[in-house]
Homo-oligomer: A and B are copies of this chain.
Amino acid sequence: MFMLAGVMKMAAVGITSPNGELLLNVDVDAKGIPYYSLDYKGHPLVKQSRLGLKADELALTDGFSITGTDTVTVDRSWQPVWGEYSDVRDHFRELAVYLKADNPQRKMTVRFRLFDDGLGFRYELPVQDGPNYLTLMEEMTEFNYAGDHKLFCIPGDYDTDEYLWSETTFSELPEALKSYGRHTEAQRVEGVTIQTPMLLKTGDGVYVNMHEAALDGYPAMLLDVDPASYSMKSHLVPDRLGVSAYLQMPFNTPWRTMIVSDDARDILASQLVLNLNEPCAIEDTSWIKPMKFIGVWWEMFTGNEKTWAYSDEYLAKPGVTDYSQLKPNGRHPANTENVKKYIDFAAKHGIDGVLVEGWNEGWEDWASYRKNRQFLFDKPYPDFDLPSLRDYAKEKGVKLIMHHETAANAADYELQLDRAFQFMKDNNYDAVKTGYVGAIIPRSEHHTSQWMVDHVRHVIERAADYQIMVDSHEAPRPTGLCRTYPNWLAQESARGGEFESFGGNPPSHTCMLPFTRLKGGPMDYTPGLFEPRLSYYGEGKDSQAGTTIARQLALYLTMPSPLQMACDLPENYERFPDAFQFIKDVPVDWADSRYLEAEPNQYITVARLDKNSDDWYVGAITDDNARIAVIDLGFLPKGGTYEATIYEDAPDAHWKENPQAYRIRKVQVKPGQKLQQPLAPGGGAAIRITKKN
């Protein structure tokens, strides 16, 4: 520290990551604008990039001096309730930069954590001498890259993230974004804007996953991209009145995160986002149980005219209409008899749960955004005999999973939330799939604006109070909050398996999600599709899934989640009982994970150790190119002999031409051996490895 013209001014400050490969520098310029830069292995990765927040009441943008800094090195570990690892190392150097400005007085801290695999930083706003409520209009954070790097991204949108991935560059991004359509009830952002998580690859082969961690009390972040200068700037999702956030001091923003490595496998293995979240807030977690489930849902997607609605008659509204007087449409799978068949199937095959969609009043006249009351969450349809199903499921040792589709009327859901959760507990439900399809009510909000972030957080907290596990669909994309609330088992928040019946997901799609979407937390992708020839949802034309059966099995490894669906119809599993055996066997919670091969949009090979046995599992997938996966069995403990049961594409398998051709073979394998595993175009392989002695 030295004094300059009466003003206390710090020199620029810098830290390196524990392994020395990342170098962070922070300074303020002549106008008092704070900025940072990041070097990786001696090369500039992020050039001088602005920091700051702009509020109506207080400009936390410039006029700043650095009044002090703190640095600390932390090396600790924690044990998640579930996940890819039973033990997670949290090792970083932290730099807190204290900023102050006068006329008017303003204070802000920027806290950086530099890990071996990346950077996280956030703004911390202490109680001010001036206004302590801020109407936040803009976040100034920049990420100025040093070249025209490759970008793997989806369009910026205030309401949805269910897009396919573009592989493009800064300069070609505007053209790439033009290829996307617009969702009816979602607001895609005009201009050159993308959303996080996204992945970037430099010409030097450095990968950067950009996202955020611990999104709480703040809107989600999009990125405005300048294709000419290779620059990105934070673009907070506003409410429909144009305000980004209402903040009360003291407040900490979410962490802005960059996972950095020149080895793509490190991106997949990184626990940086989880490390930047708060520890588990739930004292007794014994009731949180990873699980597999089947569901009464795919019948409605497979082109046979089945419906979530009980009747085709026009309705007044739930709670007013007397449903017992409605004429049933006879195409409603959520009926007692049919659900019992699913319970029987789950019981027979050791599947933990059965999700039932379309069980409750309100589906007849779907009118998202149009009705202040859409669904009732404690009123089963007349043909859904809940007490009898509750007892039947209990007798069979199967858990029914609740479905709360809100039609995006989050306000109506809040109003019913306590009753809905109490109804679940009264009827032996432990888990709920929530849905927010459509445009949000309150009508001031978007799916990812601050109010909705608060809403979903509240739902998770209330669910924890009731010991309920949650699987959120159409909620703000995850940012690692599942560490703090491990009852938040999974989210959708990306284009999921259901799109196989909306025209199909290309094989490359699931080669991108682990590099991007999954860095925030597990996805309820709904793998397990055994019948890839589908009818386009609602349109009758063909829809071809971008997969082979063997690939679907591999997804249970490449898309790790403590909540895994077997998405297909029971009858399709009964056609392929030997392949279904893998779904029955595969765990959903892991002691260790090893990423063996990885390239975004192309291929992933991963090995995982079951948390509850010594069995290892391997999953390998490719894009629509055939590939030989090289599986280095170096992870197997030395000295044993092992049997690998390999579920693989048949030699003539092909995602489009011959998706159901698979083989199952058993081979003896040894630690250190390298398996050459062929994968068909759009295919995959799934392997279970058990110790023989």
A residues in contact (CB < 8 Å) with B? 127, 132-133, 135, 217, 239-241, 243, 246, 248, 250, 314, 316-317, 365, 367, 369-373, 411, 414-415, 417-419, 441-445, 450-451, 454, 458
Query: Are A248 and B442 also in contact (CB < 8 A) when A132-B314, A415-B415, A417-B415 are?
Result: no
Q: List 18 A-B contacts (CB under 8 A).
A: A132-B365, A133-B367, A133-B370, A217-B372, A239-B443, A240-B241, A240-B444, A246-B372, A248-B317, A248-B365, A372-B450, A372-B454, A411-B442, A411-B451, A414-B414, A442-B443, A442-B445, A442-B451
Which 3 A-B residue pairings sit nearest by Cβ, starting from the closest?
A442-B442, A444-B444, A443-B444
- Bound Cα distance from A419 to B418, whole angstroms: 8
Residue of B nearest to A450 (CB): B372
With a cutoff of 8 Å between Cβ atoms, the chain B residues found around residue A250 in the complex are 316
Is the pair A370, B246 in contact by a Cβ cutoff of 8 Å?
yes
Interface SS majority for chain A: loop
With a cutoff of 8 Å between Cβ atoms, the chain B residues found around residue A127 in the complex are 314
Q: A246-B370, A441-B442 are in contact. List 16 more A-B contacts (CB 8 A).
A: A133-B367, A239-B443, A246-B369, A246-B371, A248-B367, A248-B370, A248-B371, A372-B450, A372-B451, A372-B454, A373-B454, A411-B414, A411-B451, A442-B443, A442-B444, A443-B444
With a cutoff of 8 Å between Cβ atoms, the chain B residues found around residue A450 in the complex are 372
- Bound Cα distance from A373 to B445, whole angstroms: 16
Residue of B nearest to A315 (CB): B248
With a cutoff of 8 Å between Cβ atoms, the chain B residues found around residue A240 in the complex are 241, 444
Q: Distance in Å from the Cβ of A66 to the closest Cβ of chain B?
A: 26
With a cutoff of 8 Å between Cβ atoms, the chain B residues found around residue A217 in the complex are 372
Q: Distance in Å from the Cβ of A326 to the closest Cβ of chain B?
A: 15
With a cutoff of 8 Å between Cβ atoms, the chain B residues found around residue A443 in the complex are 239, 241, 243, 442, 444, 451
Residue of B nearest to A249 (CB): B314
Residue of B nearest to A412 (CB): B414
- Bound Cα distance from A350 to B454, whole angstroms: 46
- Bound Cα distance from A519 to B293, whole angstroms: 58
- Bound Cα distance from A369 to B250, whole angstroms: 18
Residue of B nearest to A444 (CB): B444
Q: Distance in Å from the Cβ of A409 to the closest Cβ of chain B?
A: 11
- Bound Cα distance from A343 to B487, whole angstroms: 46
Q: Distance in Å from the Cβ of A105 to the closest Cβ of chain B?
A: 16
- Bound Cα distance from A370 to B56, whole angstroms: 13
Residue of B nearest to A373 (CB): B454
Q: Distance in Å from the Cβ of A552 to the closest Cβ of chain B?
A: 39
Max chain B CB contacts within 10 Å: which of A217, A369, A442? A442
- Bound Cα distance from A445 to B443, whole angstroms: 8
Q: Distance in Å from the Cβ of A318 to the closest Cβ of chain B?
A: 12
Q: Distance in Å from the Cβ of A81 to the closest Cβ of chain B?
A: 24
With a cutoff of 8 Å between Cβ atoms, the chain B residues found around residue A442 in the complex are 411, 441-445, 451
Residue of B nearest to A217 (CB): B372
- Bound Cα distance from A127 to B314, whole angstroms: 9
With a cutoff of 8 Å between Cβ atoms, the chain B residues found around residue A415 in the complex are 414-415, 417, 458
Q: Distance in Å from the Cβ of A339 to the closest Cβ of chain B?
A: 28
- Bound Cα distance from A451 to B412, whole angstroms: 11
Q: Distance in Å from the Cβ of A358 to the closest Cβ of chain B?
A: 20
With a cutoff of 8 Å between Cβ atoms, the chain B residues found around residue A314 in the complex are 127, 132
Residue of B nearest to A367 (CB): B133
With a cutoff of 8 Å between Cβ atoms, the chain B residues found around residue A241 in the complex are 240, 443-444
With a cutoff of 8 Å between Cβ atoms, the chain B residues found around residue A458 in the complex are 415
Residue of B nearest to A369 (CB): B246
- Bound Cα distance from A458 to B443, whole angstroms: 18
Max chain B CB contacts within 10 Å: which of A365, A370, A450? A370
Q: Distance in Å from the Cβ of A126 to the closest Cβ of chain B?
A: 11
With a cutoff of 8 Å between Cβ atoms, the chain B residues found around residue A418 in the complex are 418-419
With a cutoff of 8 Å between Cβ atoms, the chain B residues found around residue A419 in the complex are 418
- Bound Cα distance from A189 to B458, whole angstroms: 36
Q: Distance in Å from the Cβ of A441 to the closest Cβ of chain B?
A: 8
Residue of B nearest to A459 (CB): B415
Residue of B nearest to A370 (CB): B133
- Bound Cα distance from A408 to B239, whole angstroms: 18
